[in-house]
Amino acid sequence: MKLELKKENIEAYWRLTRMHKPIGSLLLLWPMYWALWIASNGKPDILVLIVFTLGVVLMRSAGCVINDYADRKLDPHVLRTKDRPLALGQVEPTEALQLFFVLVFASSLLVLLMNTLTIYLSLGAVFLASLYPFMKRHTHLPQIFLGMAFGWAVPMIFAAQTNTVPAMAWLIFTATVIWAVIYDTMYAMVDRDDDLKIGVKSTAILFGDLDKVLIGFFQLLFFIALIMIGQKADLGSLYFTAVFIAFLLSIYHQYLIKDRDRSKCMAAFLNNNWLGLIVFVGIAADYAVKGIVA
């Protein structure tokens, strides 16, 4: 079966790739931008910026497609996912696989514009994007694999900008993984009742009644990592002010999830976009002021 570009098909593919829900792309983009600004000392290469912005959007879409392919028999039984195109039969599984490979191929063409080290590292991105959807069947820690998939752009961006992957890259990567565990556990709390019925695993299920406490623990680790990043990158007061504002946001997230209400857990997940943006603004503003002073 071939991809057919009829209007109804395009609409189904659009929803399958989650282009109508940019939150996933944004949560991927912010750590990549953190890394790019730090790797470039606030002066990112324009080609690198464009290639990685487009590449992140394409690979996030590819990840959504392969995720829905993996979950096509589970999604009809989950309230939040029962209206996805594969669950409704609007897209055939073979079409989804074809779309996945088209998106990966498009991303591969973009990465060919980068240096050899970045091209080699891109293989890891494809592997992690393909692996994550199947982990929820075998481990209660799929959120860690999601974080690794979401964070792999960090070492890649350092490779593209500097042709090296220094310790700073892995520190930002670690912070990204921890952050993903935080927000995706909030996301998994929305589906916990349904996931328990159908046998899907998640950190929300693993943590059980300690979910809020353990999310708080990971939030603490995340902010320790952000402070370490600021110190090692020699960032100043603007960055640390942004980190403090982000910390206040994380307290708000704890408030939202306190009763484990589905809609409020989803709101906490979505609000992480603002946390990522605030950290980026702090990094960018700090470098901008240093540039003016210099």
Q: Is the pLDDT confidence value at 282 over 90?
A: yes
DSSP 89: T
pLDDT tens digits, one per residue of 43-52: 999 999 999 9
The count of residues in the chain is 294
C-alpha pair distances (Å), 19 with each of 13, 159, 180, 225 = 9, 28, 20, 31
Q: Quick one: tokens of 18? A: 């989650």
pLDDT of residue 293: 67
pLDDT tier at 2, thresholds 50, 70, 90: low
Q: Which range has the top average pLDDT, 193-202, 214-223, 283-292?
A: 214-223
Query: 131, 137 in Cβ contact below 8 A?
Result: no
What's the pTM value of the predicted model, to 2 decimals? 0.92
- Give the model's pLDDT for residue 199: 80
Domain architecture of the chain: domains with CATH: 10-289 (1.10.357.140)
Give me the sign of the Cα torsion angle 265, 271, 276, 278. Answer: negative
